[in-house]
Structure 1
Amino acid sequence: MDEDKDLEDLMANLGDFGRYQCFQFLLHLLGAMTAGMHMLSLVTVAAVPEHRCRIPGLEGNDSFGDWNSSEISSYIPKTADGFDSCHIWDSATNTSQTCTSWVYDRTYYQTSRAVEWDFVCSRRWMGAASQSIYMFGVFTGAVLLGTLADKYGRKTIFYISAVLQVILGVGVAFVSEYYSFLGTRFFYGMFGSAGSYITGFVLTMEIVGPSKRTACGVTTQASFALGCMLVAFWGFLIPDRQLLQIVYGLHGALLLGRVHEAVTIVERAMRTNKHPIPLDVAHFVSKGLATNVKREDRSYGISDIFKTPNMRCRAFNVCFNWFANSLVFYGLSLNTGKLYGNPFLVLFLACLVEIPSYIMTTLLMDRTGRRSLISTLMLLGGLACLVSAYIPQDTHIGSVSATSVVMLGKFFIAGSFAIIYNYTAELFPTVVRNTSLGVGSMCARLSGALTPLITLLDSFDKTLPSLIFSITAILSGLLVLLLPETLNKSMPQTLEDGERFGEGDSACTNCYGRKNSLPHQYSLPLSAVE
């Protein structure tokens, strides 16, 4: 009996969600929570308060001064939204000119990277680049660490990421030069989000039984939302941006202690079951539900996902869905500071609204299936973005209405984003499952990196970013109907299984009764195709 067969027997003895799976799952939830915190930390650490030009000769060098006095109002041009934040009157020429220093409103923020480095007006790109570079780090980690996890084991990559996210999360608080800050944030994103979150999610999908897979996958997403809520919570309590970043970074230390505990639980479970073969824990974690397939001595990579026509079409569709979900999700999350009200409360609510979305998703996924639900949620989320773009916000009612519609859009898109994790894990075979999730997440982080840059387009037209988010979500919501349904179907194990999986199954073929019952037969194993 080979080792993979022994592991199958072990998983059968442990059950769908036994004590071993429970402890492993709690570890993965901590990874998701810290990933959510790291992902949105810049929303508070580098928040951009309300600002206006500093008045030469009237104000000193303090970044925080009198905000709205009658004397100041005679120097600053007025707009429909209040003071012009980038121009000052030149009394000699009676024209407005661009300013080079600013005064910030201290109502909500006492310190901020944006205040220290003036991420405003012509320097807005610096704040956008700071968030984009983090997402590019996640982008790199998603594909690189995903492939390494398939090759060397999930637990190894998970543990390395847990250590480095603490070091980088705390260290970035002390970086005082902008371009060094960007470099640190790149690696912070690579290990702080990609390494622990994606690897932990795949481990969850592999160690729990089919009956618990949906609930565990969505709960992992909810833990990410909890991390986002903690960003708002700690941001409200801690006014100093350096101390705030240190607190965010130290949360990763919770993960380190749990890794060793989880390994101990596995070994104890083996002794309890009196299993005759010593357990290689890293191998066990990596192959929790691997089937009795004789595997060739070769590694699998990204090219295997796109090697054959059925999986290739499916991969492109799934990648675009990841791209669209992330674009809208982070477009709504990263711009909560522009909505009406207390920015900490708005951010907290924008993350809190994800929880009922995940509950709804959990209840519906195993009833409606993945395909129809994710399509519906993306279409509704896209429409919400479209409506919010055209709600006038020059009145109190208009501002509240726009904020409410944005929250509704976040509710829908959070649900669809949760489904795509499970859906991807079920659509692709075991040998490339972590890699496929890594590629999907890579596409999501690419759009996440583009999101801060897209929001800069509001300088030309305030509705343009929302229109881009809306159109992308609606288009992806329609294309996802071409994917096969995975509800109550066994997850594919080999490349051959992956190519045959769901062949001829789409919403169109189901509606019009043209489902292909004779899938293409391959005379050679797909693993031999170069």
Structure 2
Amino acid sequence: MFILSGLFCIPTDWHVLIITFMNAKVESWCARPEQLSDMPVSTWKQLSGQVNQTCQIKNIDWDAVTNETDISGEFGMKDCTKWEYDDSQFQSTIIGDFDLVCGRDVLIDFAQTIYFVGMIFGVLTFGILADILGRKSVLIILLLFACLTGTITSQMPNFTMFAISRVVNAFFIIGIFETHFTYCIELVGGKWSTIIGMGMEYFWVIGWLILALLGYLIRSWRSLTLLISLPSLSAVFMIWLLPESPRWLIAKGKLDQAEKILREAAIMNGKPLPDEWKLKPVKDFENTKKTTIFDLFRTRNMRGKILILYYNFFVTAFLYYGLIFNIGDLGGDVFVNFAASGFLEFPAYGAAIFVLMKCGRRIPYGTSLILSGLFLLSVSFVPRGVYYKDWPCMVLALIGKTCVTFAFGALFVYAAELVPTEIRTSAIGSASFLGRIGGTIAPWVGKLSIYHPYLPVTIFGVNALIAGLVSFLLPETQGQELPYTIEESEKLELASLIAPSILKPAKSTQPMEQEMIEFNNIPEKVEENEEDNLSCYSGDSALSQKVCS
């Protein structure tokens, strides 16, 4: 289910990353009059006064000029009204289609910023809907709307309509990421929470590399946008191919549906469940008040944990996207650079899976942020202009980005284990809401370099250090079963910066979940429950102990 759902969601990565090819930098110049359209561009620039700039031309009646006209005298300058663009590398970009040059170039950064604005509204909206309507249902709807809005975006005639369609597209796209993550993390337990939670990031990287190839083959942003949108239509097949999250069904008291899914999964794995096996409600639904996201703020313990998560989501997104947007041009081919940036994600996520399984969550996560901050702050000690293309600065920044990539992936796993199933998507969505705000302002931080070249990297580094230190207050979750209710989440108490437990992962007082929800390791032995005379699985399954009586 993890792989199948991941394949359906790969196309959604492309909507976020395609901005690299949409707004790729292309050379521009004031358009030649029709009668001079055959004149070489270099000659036209020299003739019209565009040697040092391409926003103004000589103030003469160009419609009356021919190849034989002498215009070698002194003339004033006037602003261009039309431009031409170099199409040797890209057939079309939004820069060329919407004339985002000569004063309108600020709209290039704006196009990226407003995409994050759409994400800001989407993360909270669909997090709540997924907790109410279910993971699978919301995921299918979001994928279909991603197809629709992406297709519409590819046909927009002007920048205003393009910007609006991109905001709407982002609104749906971010909901896919949050809902899919929650869906997959709820299919597993124990060590699989780390493997699946971090393994999901590889779908992001695979999508990144596929887009590098598609971008190389298709040089028109409109054709590329249309192509990446259509695959999401396949989401309709998820209706028959994917089950709803059993954990969500159990948390909502829909035990019959959950039992049916678990029995089918057990049969697929060759270990059918006995007829007398039954699920047990995790709470009294008739007499229990409905849990909402506001319950995360009721007690000091939960309030402290969620606020720390909020700040860390803001900082990790702020750092991740800030470094992507402001790390500087590596030079060379744009397609090679794009693919290389994707490949750099592989070692970070691979290391995260290994380290999180061996060392827990809290120490590796906090340490990765602190290391990122130290590497970024080290950039300010490297003198500019001394080394070839300032390569030491680039190396330090790339190492810092790798640490942030590690932290970003680990944070989603960590957060999912700290909040209850009944509002997990809402909680992660609200935290990601803050993260998208960080991503929104990140591109503009780089512009502070006009005041001091090291100001942006200093801001990124300081925030990384603070977030890393504060994260040590969160409890360790390695070996703990995923909490179903707010009361179970409450048992994971805030830690102390000087507590001995900070040196090693906390030992679970309950057995670790050993199996994926498909029951890969379902125990074969059944024993009688002496108290209720109902069958229940023996063994190490925390899920079995939770839902059996």
> 1:164 aligned to 129, 145, 155, which one?
145
Question: How far is 1:177 from its partner?
Answer: 2.2
Is the partner of 1:122 in helix, strand or coil? coil
Q: Output aligned runs, 1:98-497, within 5 Å.
A: 104-106=85-87, 108-120=89-101, 122-192=103-173, 194-263=174-243, 266=261, 268-269=264-265, 273=272, 292-295=282-285, 296=287, 298-335=289-326, 338-387=329-378, 397-398=388-389, 400-458=391-449, 461-497=452-488
Structure 1 CA distance, aligned partners of 2:472 and 2:124? Answer: 26
What percentage of residue pairs aligned between the two structures are identical?
25
Size of the aligned set, in residue pairs, is 471
Structure 2 CA distance, aligned partners of 1:118 and 1:55? Answer: 12
Structure 2 CA distance, aligned partners of 1:454 and 1:329? Answer: 13
Q: Could you tell me the TM-score, scaled by structure 2's length?
A: 0.75
Aligned to 2:30: 54
Is the partner of 1:174 in helix, strand or coil? coil
Aligned to 2:13: 36
Structure 1 CA distance, aligned partners of 2:108 and 2:427? Answer: 31
Query: What per-residue deviation string (whole Å, max 9, x for no partner) do you get for residues 396-420 of structure 1?
Result: 9325555444432322111100000
Query: What per-residue deviation string (whole Å, max 9, x for no partner) do you get for residues 359-392 of structure 1?
Result: 1110100222211111222223234444557767
Structure 2 CA distance, aligned partners of 1:391 and 1:251? Answer: 46
> 2:500 aligned to 484, 490, 510, which one?
510
Counterpart amino acid of 1:236?
Answer: Y
Q: Does the 8 Å contact 1:336/1:343 carry over to 2?
A: no
Query: What per-residue deviation string (whole Å, max 9, x for no partner) do you get for residues 432-469 of structure 1?
Result: 21111111111111112222333444555554433332
Is the partner of 1:123 in helix, strand or coil? coil
Q: Does the 8 Å contact 1:129/1:453 carry over to 2?
A: no
Structure 2 CA distance, aligned partners of 1:401 and 1:153? Answer: 49
Counterpart amino acid of 2:97?
Answer: E
Question: How far is 1:352 from its partner?
Answer: 1.2
Structure 1 CA distance, aligned partners of 2:451 and 2:101? Answer: 16
Question: How far is 1:116 from its partner?
Answer: 1.9
Q: Does the 8 Å contact 1:137/1:189 carry over to 2?
A: yes
Counterpart amino acid of 1:28?
Answer: S
Structure 1 CA distance, aligned partners of 2:456 and 2:418? Answer: 31
Question: How far is 1:263 from its partner?
Answer: 3.6
Is the partner of 2:484 in helix, strand or coil? coil
Structure 1 CA distance, aligned partners of 2:374 and 2:429? Answer: 29
* Contiguous gaps of at least 5 residues in structure 1: 1-23, 78-83, 280-288, 514-530
Structure 2 CA distance, aligned partners of 1:96 and 1:334? Answer: 35
Counterpart amino acid of 1:37?
Answer: W
Structure 2 CA distance, aligned partners of 1:179 and 1:360? Answer: 43
Q: Does the 8 Å contact 1:482/1:508 carry over to 2?
A: no
Question: How far is 1:88 from its partner?
Answer: 8.3
Counterpart amino acid of 2:282?
Answer: N
Is the partner of 1:175 in helix, strand or coil? coil
Structure 2 CA distance, aligned partners of 1:97 and 1:466? Answer: 39
Q: Does the 8 Å contact 2:122/2:171 carry over to 1?
A: yes
Counterpart amino acid of 2:30?
Answer: R
Structure 1 CA distance, aligned partners of 2:438 and 2:426? Answer: 18
Q: Does the 8 Å contact 2:28/2:54 carry over to 1?
A: yes
Q: CA 1:311 to 1:230, structure 2 compared with 1: closer, same or farther past 3 Å?
A: same
Structure 1 CA distance, aligned partners of 2:418 and 2:7? Answer: 26
Structure 2 CA distance, aligned partners of 1:45 and 1:220? Answer: 26
Q: CA 1:56 to 1:69, structure 2 compared with 1: closer, same or farther past 3 Å?
A: closer
Question: How far is 1:114 from its partner?
Answer: 1.7
Worse-superposed segment, 418-427 or 122-131: 122-131
Is the partner of 2:103 in helix, strand or coil? helix
Q: CA 1:344 to 1:56, structure 2 compared with 1: closer, same or farther past 3 Å?
A: same
Q: CA 1:220 to 1:85, structure 2 compared with 1: closer, same or farther past 3 Å?
A: farther
Counterpart amino acid of 1:43?
Answer: T
Q: CA 1:190 to 1:70, structure 2 compared with 1: closer, same or farther past 3 Å?
A: closer
Q: Does the 8 Å contact 2:12/2:146 carry over to 1?
A: no
Is the partner of 1:486 in helix, strand or coil? coil
State the structure with more CA Rg.
2
When the two chains are superposed, the root-mean-square deviation of aligned CA atoms in Å is 3.8
Q: CA 1:512 to 1:227, structure 2 compared with 1: closer, same or farther past 3 Å?
A: closer
Report the structure, 1 or 2, having the larger helix content: 1
Q: Does the 8 Å contact 1:55/1:75 carry over to 2?
A: no
Query: What per-residue deviation string (whole Å, max 9, x for no partner) do you get for residues 155-182 of structure 1?
Result: 1101101111111112210011222222
Q: CA 1:508 to 1:470, structure 2 compared with 1: closer, same or farther past 3 Å?
A: same
Q: CA 1:449 to 1:70, structure 2 compared with 1: closer, same or farther past 3 Å?
A: closer
Q: Could you tell me the TM-score, scaled by structure 1's length?
A: 0.77
Worse-superposed segment, 150-159 or 489-498: 489-498
